Amino acid sequence: MRHHRLQLHTWLVPLSVVLAVASCDVTTNPGSFFVTYRANMKVPTAAGDTTTKATIDSVYYSPGTGKCVTTCSSDSTFIRVTGGAWNYSVELTVPSGATLEAHVFATGRLAGNAQFTAIWMTASGTLAGDSVTATTAPGTKFTLDIPKRTL
């Protein structure tokens, strides 16, 4: 009688599927979006320089409430983050029909570039985003704006 040994590849795929399904966020349904705002003041140059080009004075971003109508940077529905960090990132889940908008206020440290990106993905995996880049200069204040968009 010949014994068959269970080989690794015969159970690895089904196990991977079970683990992937089990790790899904149950609060994200097909009618919602997973959003990431990311500001990077250390955008490398062609020569590979990765020094900090600017510091972030503050970030205003919409949490997807859709309540901001006029002066959004002073609207209480926006979330304001202050600090001198060179990068910033936040992730949140927003419902379908939510509005997104974000603004970074920064001060240049060196000549170079800074980048601000908003990426959103549906629970089914559809990916889209907005991105803006600004030139930095020592001691010069600048803004990076992601325009208002309805998801």
Residue holding tokens 């068959």? 4
Rounded mean pLDDT for each run of 10 residues along the chain, 151 residues in total: 43 37 44 85 78 88 67 63 80 85 90 90 84 93 90 81
DSSP state, residue 26: T
Residue holding tokens 């020592």? 138
Asked if residues 39 and 89 have their Cβ atoms less than 8 Å apart, the reply is yes
What is the model's pLDDT at position 65? Answer: 66
Indicate whether this model's pTM tops 0.75: no
How many angstroms separate the CA atoms of 83 and 92, rounded? Answer: 20
What is the model's pLDDT at position 66? Answer: 58
Domain boundaries, the chain: 26-150
Q: Residue 110 is encoded by which pair of tokens?
A: 């060196």
What is the model's pLDDT at position 47? Answer: 76
Asked if residues 145 and 131 have their Cβ atoms less than 8 Å apart, the reply is no
What is the model's pLDDT at position 136? Answer: 92
